Amino acid sequence: MHTLYGISNCNTVKKAKDWLEANHIEYQFHDYRKQGLTADLLASFEAALGWEKLLNKQSTSWRKLNDEQKSNVSKQTALQYMLETPTLIKRPVLDTGEKMIIGFKAENYQQQL
């Protein structure tokens, strides 16, 4: 079974859920705010996708970081920031069991699922 990771009030996550349901693809939803985010889970995301793709520099959470934090971002600091503030992770992350897909575009899901 697929696992969709994100936060429930995110519009992009809602679109991904709607697409999966419309295409009869079973999944379970993991809400970072309710079920949390562990260092191991984040490490698995990073290993599959890379920290640069995971870090959402368009997010409100990113804009709240100070200039020093933004300018000195590295793999280590990015992972620390994402663990402390999961809304810094680009959403959603879909784990199919074989691969991970980040973000949502219907055509991308169509091709990869």
Taking the C-alpha atoms of residue 62 and residue 59, their distance in angstroms, rounded to an integer, is 5
pLDDT value for 72: 87
Domain span at 83: 2-112
Blockwise average pLDDT, block size 10, the chain, 113 residues: 95 97 97 94 96 94 91 93 95 95 95 92
Name the active-site residue from 2, 3, 10, 12: 10
pTM to 2 decimal places: 0.92
Question: Are the beta carbons of 87 and 59 closer than 8 angstroms?
Answer: yes
Number of domains observed in the structure of the chain: 1
Query: Is 73 assigned a catalytic role?
Result: no
User: How many other C-beta atoms can be found within 10 angstroms of the C-beta atom of residue 2?
Assistant: 16
Q: Can you give the three-state secondary structure of 50-78, one letter per residue?
A: CHHHHECCCCHHHHHCCHHHHHCCCHHHH
